[in-house]
Amino acid sequence: MTTPWWGVAPTLEEQTLPDAAEFIVVGGGIVGLSTAYWLARAGAAPLLLEREGIGAGATGRNGGFLPVGTAEDYDASVARLGRERARALLSLTLENRRLADELFGVEEIDCDLRPCGHLHLALDDHEQQVNRRLAALLTEDGCRTDYLDRAGAQAMVATRFGPSITGGLYFRDIGLLHSGKLVRGLAAAAVRRGARLTRAAVQEIDGRRGGTCLVTERGTVDGGAVAIAVNAWTGSLLPALRPMITPVRGQVLATAPIKPVFRTGMTALTTATEEYWQQAPDGSIILGGCRAIRPDRDERVLDVTPTEDVQSALERVLPGLFPEIGPLRVTHRWAGTMAFTRDRLPIAAPLPGSNGWSVGGFSGNGMSLGLIFGRILADALLGRPADPRLSIFAPERFSGAPE
pLDDT digit string (tens) for 81-103? 999 999 999 999 999 999 999 99
Q: How many CB atoms lie within 10 A of CB 305?
A: 11
Please say whether the structural domain 1-114+176-244+341-403 has been given the CATH code 3.40.605.10: no
Closest CA to 22 of 8, 36, 34: 36
The ranges assigned to domains in the chain are 1-114+176-244+341-403, 115-175+246-339
202-206 vs 330-340, strand pairing mode: unpaired
CA angle 172, 177, 180 (to 5 degrees): 160
pLDDT at 210: 59
Low-confidence ranges of the chain (pLDDT < 70): 1, 208-211, 400-403
Task: Report the alpha-carbon distance of residue 249 to residue 261 in Å, rounded.
Answer: 28
Fold (CATH) for 115-175+246-339: D-Amino Acid Oxidase; Chain A, domain 2 (3.30.9)
pLDDT digit string (tens) for 174-188? 999 999 999 999 999
pLDDT digit string (tens) for 342-358? 999 999 999 987 789 99
Task: Report the alpha-carbon distance of residue 142 to residue 181 in Å, rounded.
Answer: 29
pLDDT at 114: 97
Task: Give Cβ neighbours of residue 158 (< 8 Å, ≥ 6 apart).
Answer: 259, 260, 261, 262, 263
